[in-house]
Structure 1
Amino acid sequence: MVKSTGSRCLAPANQCDHIVPNNDHSPRNLQALCVACHKVKTQKESLAARRLKSRRLPPERHPGLL
């Protein structure tokens, strides 16, 4: 994985990661990453998914106002 500094990670790749997060487990959608790079990538994807989900949900009405 290329770090923000532009350098490549030199740690041993021991994690299997989906390049595009979905149920496609074919080899073309998998990559090997080290633990730290996999954690960073997963956190970024999780944050993006939470932001997208929060935009789609309409605000709930307070039960006392119904």
Structure 2
Amino acid sequence: MQFDVEIAEIVKRYLKETKDQDLSIAEILTRPRWKRVWFWWKALEYYEGKPMPELTIEEVKGTYGD
């Protein structure tokens, strides 16, 4: 669970800075796992320059579930 919170903190910061969405950690944790993973990858790309995996949203949903 700690890793999920760490992901949520990064996603929270990313969404605030890039989408002007100020969600709480609790709100982010209620989102489907695939969506948290997707935005975590986007945040890593944005902050650290790590490229996103070449997966479609459908592939991410299939891997991480709804």
Q: Same fold (TM over 0.5)?
A: no
TM-score of the superposed pair, with normalisation by structure 2: 0.28
Q: Which structure is larger by alpha-carbon Rg, 1 or 2?
A: 1
TM-score of the superposed pair, with normalisation by structure 1: 0.28
Higher helix share: 2
